[in-house]
Amino acid sequence: MKFDLSHLPKSVLRIGLAGAIASLFVATSSAQDERGKQLYANCVACHQADGSGMKLLNAPAISGLSEKYIAAQINKFKAGHRGGDPADATGMQMRPMSMLLTSEEDIAAVAKYVASLPSKPVEATLTGGNAETGKALYATCQACHGVDGAGNDLLNAPSLLNQYDWYLEAQIHKFKDGVRGGNPEDITGSQMRPMAMVLANDQAIKDVIAYIETLGK
């Protein structure tokens, strides 16, 4: 059976077409959300169902990080630009997990799902840091990560909020040692290396992290 719609005003036809496109978009988005949730099942053992991470397995909190940043890090692990250095033992744990995402569509789906998980406050574990001293040191960081520590996708800078202090400490050391950001193919990681070098010693690292832990509270 054919329906003759020629008698309908063009405005009505446009509304009907727009509605059909919107419905298709919602259905596609819903399917991607479900796919992302299914794929994330492979991440739960380390990062937990809520994305809050687990120190025992060296897994950082990832809930609430931006889709762009999450997708970029997964691609880095897959390519070996991150977690490819034999000295990066914890990064090498993540590399085989990234290989389970075999397409850009899957990476996008899981990144979208993780980004949708609400970020939660985490418990401080480091001691000896001086937040007041760290505030001055953070001036170097805020150009990319923001005054509030919320990050900036345009500058490839992730949010630092609600991230474990032990993880931040480990990553700063990795950047300083060239274990992370030392691969010439890791362009965004190499941007962070000289910033890490500004922190002259362990005390400076603890101080800036102590200040970061005050942000968003």
- For the stretch 52-109, pLDDT in tens is 999 999 999 999 999 999 999 999 999 999 999 999 999 999 999 999 999 999 999 9
* One domain, residues 110 and 132: no
pLDDT for the residue numbered 110: 97
Range in 10-24, 81-95, 144-158, 199-213 the model is least confident about: 10-24
* Domain that includes residue 73, residue range: 38-119
In the block, tokens 């992730």 appear at 158
**For residue 179, which phi and psi values (nearest 5 degrees)?**
-70, -30
From 119, 137, 155, the end of a domain falls on: 119
Which of 119, 139, 165 is at the close of a domain? 119
Statement to judge: residues 214 and 173 lie in one domain: yes
The verdict on 48 and 101 lying in the same domain is yes
In a shared domain, residues 74 and 97 = yes
Banded pLDDT at 5 (limits 50, 70, 90): low
In a domain? residue 183: yes
Element (H, E) at 176: helix 165-177
110 contacts 43 by C-beta, under 8 angstroms: yes
48 and 134 part of one domain: no
Distance between CA atoms of residues 194 and 4, nearest Å: 67
CATH number, position 96: 1.10.760.10
Residue 135 pLDDT greater than 70, yes or no? yes
State how far the Cα of 160 lies from the Cα of 178, in Å rounded to an integer: 20
Q: How many domains does the chain have?
A: 2
In a domain, 16, yes or no: no
* pLDDT mean over 133-159: 96
145 and 215, same domain (yes or no)? yes
| Domain finish residue from 60, 95, 119 | 119
Instruction: For residue 23, name the pLDDT band (cuts at 50, 70, 90).
Output: low
- Please determine, for residue 3, whether its predicted confidence score (pLDDT) is greater than 60: no
Whether the CB-CB separation of 159 and 215 falls below 8 Å is answered with no
- Residue pair 68/162 in contact (Cβ under 8 Å)? The answer is no
